[in-house]
Structures are given as C-alpha cells and as structure tokens.
Amino acid sequence: MSEIVIENAIKRFGKFTAIDNVSLTVHEHEFVVLLGPSGCGKTTLLRAIAGLGMVDDGRITIGGRDVTYLAPRDRNISMVFQNYAIFPHMTVYDNIAFGLKMRRADKAHIQERVNHAAKLLHIENMLERYPSQMSGGQRQRIAVARAIAYESRIILMDEPLSNLDALLRLEMRAELKSLLKRLGATTIYVTHDQIEAMSMGDRIAVMQSGRILQIDVPTRVYDLPSNQFVGGFIGNPPMNFVHGQVQKSGSGYVVKIGEFTLTPTADIQSALPAYDGQAIYLGIRAEAMEVVTTPTPDTLPVTVDVVEPLGAQNLLTARVGSDIVKVSTAPDSPIRMGDQVWLRFPLAKIRWMNVDTGQAITADVAQVTA
C-alpha cells in the first residue's frame, strides 16, 4: 500500500504559518500536483511528507503507517529536487546507484536496477560520464533515474523541470507522465506552472497562504474554480471577472451588466435571493465567449482595444464597464483594434462568484464565506 494521508497538518516558522491545517489524501498509484505561487506552502508540505521538515501538529501516514516523525530513510520514498541534487564527482552510474548502495543492496541487484532506470530515461549509453559532461536535461534524467532505481512506492518531485528551457520542458513533461504511469508509483509533484499541473496531474491541489483551496481533476479546477483566486491562477489568460448586479425579475433573478441583462440558469437561481440588489462576479474563460460582428438581443457591445496574434488564436482585449476582458478568437479572424464587436456569454460556461469573499456561488450554498 502506498496511499498518503495528511491530517490537519500545521507547520510554523516563528509566527509565520507555512502550512495551515492541511488535510489531503493521495490514493495509491495516483499523480497529485501541488500547485500555487511562491510562498504558498507547497514545498514545505512536500518536505513534511518526505521527513525533511517535521510538522508542528497533525499526522502523516503512508500505507497506513504513521510516519509523522520518522526520518526520511525510514519512509521508503524517493525525491527529485529542483536543483537535481546529483553528485558532480560521481559517474552517472554511481549517482543512480547511490540510494541502493546506502541501503546496502547487493551488487547484481544494483546493476540491474541502474540499467533498467537508465534505459527508461534514455541515458543507458551515458553511464560512465560525469554530470559536468551532460546537459541540463540529461542531468534531470539522472535525478529521475535515481528515484526510479530506488524502487520506492512513493516519488516526490519538487519543481523538477523548472531549470529546463521551454522546448525541453515540453518533451520531459510528456515523457515523465508516461513513465510514471507505467511505473504505477504514487506521485506528488510540486510546481508553480499551471500548464504542467493541468497536463500531468490526475488531480490538482491549488494552494494559497498555506491552505488547499481546491482539489479536483484538472478539467473541473479549470472549468469550475472554487473561488476567484483559483480561476485567476489557472489558465492563460486567466479567467475573466466582470461585475454584475443581481436584480429581482418576476419569479426569478437576473444579473445586469450596465443595460445588458443575463438570466442565470435554473440551478443557480435558488442561491441568488441572498444577493438581491448586490454586486456579484461573472467569471468566464476567454475561449468560452462567442464573438459576433452584428448585434443581437443576447449580446453585449464592446470596443476592441488590443489584438494579440498568438499563432493558434488571436487574443482580444476589451473593456466591459471598468473591467478588462480577454476574448479568444480564431487566428484568421478579421477583427482589428478599434472595431466594435458583440459578446455572447453562454450561461453554462459562467461561474458566478461572491465579490466580497471571492468564493463561487453554488446552488446549494446561498452565501459562501471565506
């Protein structure tokens, strides 16, 4: 068993709380990404799981065994660091074999495991080289191979691709995901790169200020962020947030954006009485809005301030009242800077949010608090 369970973990550095009552379960063979900005606590949490920094309160179990205060060597884990942490005076072979040698494995077993891991990472012809003779990408492969050779049930990765150039990161991302899936290891992966998180993780745990704000599969975190921070952090460009005002209309409620009116779907109507007469956010992705060049009653007129050709798409910048919105269009779109266009907001793609707390407004919770 290699399930990881974190219960009410707290870690303080003086008066600063780096991990604030975090609970998380990572299932056996699952790939979970800890995602968030610098200083959010993701690396501190990973180090607590590894035993490199003990929590002040709470409990951590691996495979049902309490490891909260065990030394790293007693947890049967492998870790891959951002700076590779490989030994420059050792050959590639000896670097990969290091953990096994510390565990006093026999020579034949070490050779078998090193050769197997090197082959998986495509560095089997480089075992006699030294790290100084290898590129950054090849050094990263050494670090991953060492983790694999150790045969641990748990692999912890702390921003392992952040030192690579963009093209190599793209290549390594795909390779790493495929490799870890074949190995069946339970993996926790730390990154601040939301593209890495979206493309690699079975689930993403988005962190801020030492807390997990949302944990879910990538598509739900992207489409249904639990709050404004998650919506703004995930996605490039981030989710748009437009101010609207809730008003009673007949037996239901509408949201006014200036003179433009939207009628939220039936499943959200039950939450809106608590917001009658108040401002709320309309959260919507750039690619979710429809752009038309002739007005219709269900479209909002805007003037295009900027057009950014990005190859696969054109990104328009426009203003809706005091809010700036980003809208994605086809790369061959004839829309130019200064043009007037009309935006259609598909109701099913809108995420309504509380202006004061930033929390998503859901049908079963009328007033969500922080």
Per-residue pLDDT band at 363 (split at 50, 70, 90): low
pLDDT > 90 in the chain, percent? 68
Q: What is the pLDDT at residue 87?
A: 87
With a pLDDT cut of 70, the percent of the chain lying above it is: 97
* In the chain, where the domains are located: 4-232, 237-354
Whether 240 shows a pLDDT value over 90: the answer reads: yes
For 126-135, what is each residue's pLDDT tens digit?
A: 999 998 888 8
Per-residue pLDDT at 163 exceeds 80: no
**Higher-confidence position of 265 and 161:** 265
DSSP states along 113-140: HHHHHHHHTT-TT-TTS-GGGS-HHHHH
Q: Tell me what pLDDT residue 349 has.
A: 94
Q: Where do runs of H (alpha helix) occur along 213-319? A: 218-223, 228-233, 266-269
**Distance (Å, whole) CA 157 – CA 56:** 23
Question: In the predicted model, is pLDDT for residue 369 greater than 80?
Answer: no
How far, in Å, are 91, 159, 309 from residue 162 at the CA level?
Answer: 24, 6, 27
Check pLDDT > 80 for residue 151. no
| More confidently predicted of 226 and 363 | 226
Task: Tell me the helix, strand and coil percentages in the chain, rounded to 5.
Answer: 30, 35, 40
- Contacting residues for 49 by C-beta, under 8 A, at least 6 apart: 4, 6, 60, 62, 77, 154, 156, 188
Q: Is the pTM of this model over 0.85?
A: yes
Cα 98 to Cα 108, 142, 217: the distances in Å are: 14, 11, 35
91 pLDDT more than 70? yes
Query: For residues 241 and 227, is the Cβ–Cβ distance under 8 A?
Result: no
Which pLDDT does position 172 carry in this prediction? 79
Tokens of residue 155, six digits: 């692999």
The number of C-alpha atoms within 13 Å of 348 and in the hemisphere containing its C-beta is 0
Fold of 4-232: Rossmann fold (3.40.50)
Q: CA–CA distance from 298 to each of 192, 267, 345 (Å)?
A: 38, 20, 8
Higher-pLDDT residue of 306, 105: 306
Instruction: Pick the range with the lowest mean pLDDT from 18-22, 142-146, 193-197, 299-303.
Output: 142-146
What value does the mean pLDDT take over residues 302-331? 95
The arithmetic mean of pLDDT across residues 267-285, rounded, is 94
Confidence of residue 165 (pLDDT cuts 50, 70, 90): confident
The pLDDT score that the predictor gives to residue 61 is 96
Question: For the chain, what is the total number of helices (H) and then of strands (E)?
Answer: 9, 20
pLDDT at 82 over 80: no
Region 230-253: mean pLDDT is 94
What pLDDT does 364 receive?
A: 54
Contact 246, 255 (CB under 8 A): yes
237 in helix, strand or coil? coil
Among the listed ranges 59-68, 82-91, 110-119, 348-357, which one has the minimum average pLDDT value? 82-91
* Domain 237-354 top-level CATH class: mainly beta
Res 119: pLDDT? 85
